[in-house]
Structure 1
Amino acid sequence: MTHTSRLPAGTTRAQALAMLSDHAFFLSCDPHLDKFEPIPPSALAQLSPPPSVPDEVKAQLRRSGDDEPGPDRSVQTRDEDEHQPDGPTPTPTCYRVTDIVHAVPAGLWDTSVVSTYEFSDLRDGVFVRVRSPLSVVMDTFWRVRQVGGCRDGNGEGTDGGGVGGGGEGEGEGAGQELALELVEDVTIQCSRLLMGLVKGQCENGWGKIHGKMLARLEEEVKQAKQAKQAKQAKQAKQGMQG
């Protein structure tokens, strides 16, 4: 399953990546969330199975030396995808998450569902593996992706899609901004008995999750704009006095 939302106008790639790397905020976007707690690294070996980074994710990991955002995965070459960085693979950052799910049929799960979330930050987003009871595993790539549509100087989009509207703060051409979108790509592994339930939960909740993420970015863009205007006003005042 893939869900896509256009990011708010003025959102930078760095802002979007920072939001996805804020794991506490990410978890707070879960509409069913009751509570969560970090699992200390010393306790990871006790998990069954122990958390690990899938082979197809290792080449995409964001490492401490990565100062610049990674390439758009939609245009990355096969050679880049197969490249394995030097050094040990970072261990996922893990959390124990409790959700309250009232739509679960009697006898399958308790109303309180406890899952393990494994976060691996990527150059262009974050990879999240969720392990839930009854061998349910969900692998999700969250990516910040540039799209073909641009926005004119008034912030009007020329290419729509998903929840919200957005753009990139770095211009391309006079009066235009590159558009960014948030892409959520979900793969579910579970029994046929549970597939309908799990997919239904994903379909019913993704809009709320994306909506909360977009609201954060909208507020950040608003604050950045206000700060810029205040700085410009101060500089103009100083210029007049000088």
Structure 2
Amino acid sequence: MAICDDEAAFVQHLSQLLDRYAQETGTELKISTFGDGADLTDPYDPTIDLIFLDIQMGIMDGLRTAQRIREMDGQVSIIFLTTLAQYSLEGYQYQATNYILKPLQYIRLKAEMDKFLARRQKEPDPFVVIANDAGRHRVALRDLRYIETFNRNLLCHTQEQNLISYRTMKEMEAALGDKGFARCHTSYLVNLFYVKGVHKLELTLITGETLPISQPKRKTFLAQLTDYWGDML
């Protein structure tokens, strides 16, 4: 999860409250902090599952930041932080989970965290099992950016590491083709969640990486990407 607020004292306060919540509930929390919306969105980390986002920030305010996030990520939960209740209604156009008025009390934070974790338990992340000589690895699909052929095997690029798989590309495509993945090239299967844009025979991911698009697969790939983006709007 992430905290994005330009008040260092408040960031420290919220971090301490989250540490208290983690200790009391036995929940493991990984917290990243950002002092401005631009720092949060460039580069954006799509593995973040919850963002505490201050509305009133100097360089890039919370509403503009949320708009940018929603262009890249339709799933992350956003809780707006504000000192003025009038801003809360504006935040809902960006599918805000909720808003919290400052100053923040622990009982309010606990209620929001309890609801967030309850929702996550009801909606488990789909995953794929990647097996190799090192063992079997359970990889959440949202963490799998793309798969490429590599020395007669496959190399799976995840958020944490790159993993060798001994399955064929056809097998991976059959397993993931209805889960938001598409073949852009004979040697590449990409998670459409990460695609930022397409230019001629190349696509760009939100991570900044570029992948080739083969001419024979371009038409079908663009149709799949258009359908995916349409579903996300």
When the two structures are superposed, what TM-score results if normalisation uses the length of structure 2? 0.26
Higher RCO, 1 vs 2 (CA within 8 Å, ≥6 residues apart): 1
TM-score by length of 1: 0.25
Structure (1/2) with the larger helix percentage:
2
